[in-house]
Each structure stands twice: as C-alpha cells, then as structure tokens.
Amino acid sequence: MTDSIDASVKYVTQPGRYHPTRRPSSCFASIADALALALEDGSMKQAIVARTDVGMGQGKLAAQVAHASLSAYEKADSQLRDQWKRGGQKKVVLKGESERQLHELAAIADSDGIPNAVVRDAGHTQLEPGTVTALAVGPAADDRVDRVTGELSLF
C-alpha cells in the first residue's frame, strides 16, 4: 500500500505533471485523486531474476532480461497487461544464484498463478546453447511478486 502511495506522489510531483492552475482533464486534480487511482488500480510490477553464476557480459545480460520480460508479459492475460501498462510497467532486476534457483522460483510463481517465463540462451555468442539465463515473474500485484522474489538482492 505504501509503495502505491509513494508512486502516486512521485507521479504527480514530477515536473509538468501537476499544477494547481491546470484543468483536471489534463492532469490529476489533486494528490488525493492520484492516491485514489493508485488504490483503485493497485500497484503492479515484474521482477526479472538474472543469473550471476554464468558470466554474462552487460549486453548479453540486458538482452536476456529483455527476453524474459517480454515472454512473461505475453503469457499474462490482457487485463493484467493493460493494468500493468497503465501503472507504468514497473520492473526490477534481481540477482539469481543458479539455474536451480530460477526453476524453484518459477515453480512457486506457477503454483500462485503468476505469469512467468524462464529464458534459455540460443548459444550463438557467450554461452552454451540452452543455458538458463533469466526468469521473469509477473506482471502481477507487487505483493504477489514479492512473495516469490522478495528475498533476492537487486542486480
């Protein structure tokens, strides 16, 4: 809940977002309106877990994270996708220790009905073909994603 409120306050206080002389049709009429919107829609995110034990370069890492994000997004139903897009498509990239850990997290997400995707590298450049590189969990409500990935460190 606090994350939703913080995100809403940040949104309306960004330069150009809120001004007391603007008409409500072009921006939030007040911070209270922004908070109500956040509470109505709920805060959503996607967590992408990238392995730290396979030695990916920065470009490879970025590509694998992008593949995972898009793959999990495509597995989500249209209502979840639309809600996540309206909320700014919040993402976080986290450190994963091993292939086993990514599969365990994917199983937890599956059992909770959270869209997720495990990515395997094609093996054309840095890694062996089929190497598991990343897992995306969500989009889903923040608390649901946190139940799966909340113990992991930021990348």
Averages of pLDDT over each 10 residues, the chain, 155 residues: 51 49 46 49 92 96 98 98 97 99 99 99 94 99 98 98
Q: What is the distance of C-alpha 93 from the center of its chain?
A: 8
Backbone angles phi and psi of 113, in degrees to 5: 70, 25
Task: State the pLDDT at residue 58.
Answer: 96
Task: State the pLDDT at residue 116.
Answer: 99
Burial zone of 24 (CB within 10 Å; 0-12 exposed, 13-18 middle, 19+ buried):
exposed
Task: State the pLDDT at residue 136.
Answer: 99
- For the chain, which residues make up each domain, given as ranges? 42-150
**Cβ proximity of 96 and 49 under 8 Å:** yes
The model's pTM: 0.74
At 53, the amino acid letter reads: D
Task: State the pLDDT at residue 42.
Answer: 78
Task: State the pLDDT at residue 76.
Answer: 98
Superfamily of domain 42-150: Bit1 (3.40.1490.10)
